[in-house]
Amino acid sequence: MFRSRNPLGRQVVVITGASSGIGLATARMAAERGAKVVLAARSGDALARIESEIEAAGGQAIHVVADVGDRADVDAIAEAAIARFGRIDTWVNDAGLSIFGKLEEVVEADNKRLFATNFWGVVNGSLAAVPHLKRTGGVLINLGSVASDVAFPLQGMYCASKHAIKGFTDALRIELEEEGAGVAVTLIKPAAIDTPFPQNAKNYADRAVKLPPPVYRTEEVANAIVHAAVHPQRDIYIGGGGRLMSAAQRLAPRAFDRIGRTMIAQQLRDEPARGRAGALHQAGGASREAGSTGRTSGDHPGYVMRRSFYTRSTLHPLASSIVAVGAVLAATSVLAGNRRR
């Protein structure tokens, strides 16, 4: 178990992928709680608007236009954070994209671009951040996925990148612990989250795409990230549904493979595809027409769960235990009263 860090209101937090979705929700939540935030993404216009929004609300923020697949760009993020705020306490590697399409259909250039952002973006961010985090005893937070443990058809290369992120993050954690570096490393594993993720993905299918259920609100991930910045944990799953999938895959992999085949239909909408290029190669890309930059939520057509009791219980195990015991005692009291009557 890692020790607690400085309160969020005394931290400088760097967030990549901050122009939409989880990154944007995290930036807003961290700023609301007093953190100084450094926003990074490829969408300069969106970042400038978000920076102004945070400062208008009384927060402190700067933005850096960067492609996380380029190590020089990522080093520039760290340099800007130090130049403005003097230190880095928490670094969040959130930038990521996907491709919807069968592995045999996806061209090599698209696969390489995805890995440059998803995997090398995490590697570049982690290696740029660690020297600064060693000085502050800070926290490195990498965004993996339930896809770090299981595989989904139609998003094979995305799953491969998330498996790679898990391997890299776990190895880096061990090396830092052996060194006694004092840096906490947390891997966040969200299930499906209602962000502009499907619109930003490149789509090879002839139908519009969506995420398979269960789907959770973006703010549930942001809440876990800002919690980990102060109370870091090794792994945090977002959503009990995702945790169950990981457990099922580990216990009965062949059975889970058969279940996985049903996810093909669960990822396709009953409407034609639009904006297939997504934001894979260009910031905003076709998704700019849908207005996904600057938005935390997507347009998931099904039910979106507001919160995950499972995740909240892992973040606050003692409080959850007290609530559970209280519920049991209350139920016992009611039953006893009914018997007396």
The residues annotated with a catalytic role in the active site are 158
Question: For the chain, what is the total number of helices (H) and then of strands (E)?
Answer: 12, 14
Q: Are 99 and 116 in contact (CB under 8 A)?
A: no
The Cα–Cα gap between 281 and 102 comes to 19
| 248-252 contacts, C-beta under 8 A, 24 or more apart | 249/149, 249/150, 250/149
Geometric angle at alpha carbon 191, from 186 and 195, rounded to 5°: 100
Nearest to 17 by CA among 308, 296, 249: 296
> Pairing mode, if any, of strands 202-203 and 304-305?
unpaired
Rg from Cα positions in the chain: 20
**CA torsion angle for 212, 196, 301, 157 (degrees, to 10)?**
-20
Beta-ladder partners of 216: 193, 305
Backbone dihedral angles phi then psi of residue 146, each to the nearest 5 degrees: -60, -25
